[in-house]
Amino acid sequence: MAFEGLTEKISSAFKGLRSKGRLTEADVKDAMREIRMALLEADVNFKVAKDFIKAVTEKATDAEILDSLSPAQQVIKIVNEELIALLGGQTTRLTIAPNPPTIVMMVGLQGAGKTTNCAKLAGLLRKQQQRRPLLVACDVYRPAAIDQLKVVGRQLDITVFDEGQGDPVEIAKHGIDHAKRNGYDLVFLDTAGRLHIDEKLMDELKNIKAAVTPTEIILVVDAMTGQDAVTVSQTFDQALGINGVLMSKMDGDARGGAALSVKAVTGKPIKFIGTGEKLGDIEPFHPDRMASRILG
């Protein structure tokens, strides 16, 4: 799981603070320098790391904190609070449409984990909220993508709507009609991805968005691609507008920089994380729990 190196280095900075008893401003600044290095080594965006350290230092070098009975504890508490804020503050749930079905458009680059995570997310919400999900195969360019959606759908016993390789906008509309007629209250549109962001991909996604007015657009990004995942999030958000991010492959990412940077850079929260290859390996993203995990 992510953040191994970061946890170790932050613990070491905290240990230094705890060993001191009384703290001076210089002690805090030394510790913050260590934490800043640790963040950069974890591949956190440069500006994000800088702003984070600035915010913590301003609060932690306040005379009231330095003169308190347990200054190290206070500083650690500030780091924890700022880390939670950096990760998005509150847990951000998927918006549910007042009139069903809720339509979730899943977008992302090829290989990010879109198809797998459509099924994972459908399975999670069926279990947690007793929803009736339908998966709609709108990735018409790769025949393998439709088959793959059917395979994961079958494994979880979730229905897949497909019309083979037709027009993705029409398929999306027909899929939603099918959901309405058959009592499915949650529709996932598995859209096409490409190896790189290009105009054609964005145009197609914009057309689907305009035709079906999705309740949410969730971008799936691969945590293992580090800052590229953050850039991809920014580009998708600017071109299409996204509601949140599903960060896949957190299990394979030892550093964690993408997860720590994406909210600060894009303003859009991580809503879910993928934590393994199995179809049950998905969790809602809880900034407070993640901060505790990072701080060890």
Least gap, CB of 156 to ligand GDP (angstroms) = 13
Buried-state track 112-142, b at ≥16 Cβ within 10 A, e below 16: bbbbbbbbbbbbbbbeeeebbbbbbbbbbee
First to last CA, the chain: 13
What mask, x for binding ligand GDP by CB under 6 A, covers residues 130 to 159?
Answer: ------------------x-----------
Compare residues 214 and 274 and give the one whose CB is closer to ligand GDP: 274
Compare residues 101 and 274 and give the one whose CB is closer to ligand GDP: 274
If 0-12 CB within 10 Å is exposed, 13-18 middle and 19+ buried, where does residue 111 land? middle
* Residue nearest ligand GDP, Cβ-based: 274
Q: Parallel, antiparallel, or unpaired: how do β-strands 282-284 and 270-274 relate?
A: antiparallel
Least gap, CB of 73 to ligand GDP (angstroms) = 35
Cα separation, 240 vs 249, in Å, equals 23
Least gap, CB of 68 to ligand GDP (angstroms) = 42
Task: Please report whether residue 277 would count as binding ligand GDP according to CB under 6 A.
Answer: yes
What is the total count of residues that contact ligand GDP (CB under 6 A)?
20
Q: Which of 102, 191, 215, 275 is close enough to bind ligand GDP by CB under 6 A?
A: 275
The answer on whether 42 is annotated among ligand-binding residues is no
Of the ranges 16-24, 128-136, 249-257, 259-267, which one interacts with ligand GDP (CB under 6 A)?
Answer: 249-257
The answer on whether 16 is annotated among ligand-binding residues is no
Task: Please report whether residue 271 would count as binding ligand GDP according to CB under 6 A.
Answer: no
Cα dihedral 80, 286, 51, 43 sign: positive
Please report, for residues 54, 77, 93, 159, 260, the alpha-carbon distance to residue 32 in angstroms, rounded to integers and kept in the order given.
9, 14, 32, 51, 17
The answer on whether 47 is annotated among ligand-binding residues is no
Compare residues 60 and 104 and give the one whose CB is closer to ligand GDP: 104
Near ligand GDP in 199-238, by CB under 6 A: none
What mask, x for binding ligand GDP by CB under 6 A, covers residues 96 to 125?
Answer: ------------x-xxxxxxxx--------
Q: What is the dihedral of CA 72, 77, 82, 85, to 10 degrees?
A: 170
Distance of CA 242 to the CA centre of its chain: 12
Place of tokens 């206070």: 74
Q: Which of 71, 153, 256, 274 is close enough to bind ligand GDP by CB under 6 A?
A: 274
CB contact at 8 A, 151 and 187:
no
Least gap, CB of 252 to ligand GDP (angstroms) = 5
Find the farthest-apart pair of alpha carbons in the chain and give their distance in angstroms, rounded: 69
Annotated binding-site residue numbers for GTP:
108-115, 190-194, 248-251
What is the contact surface with ligand GDP in residues (CB under 6 A)?
Answer: 108, 110-117, 148, 193, 248-249, 251-252, 274-277, 281
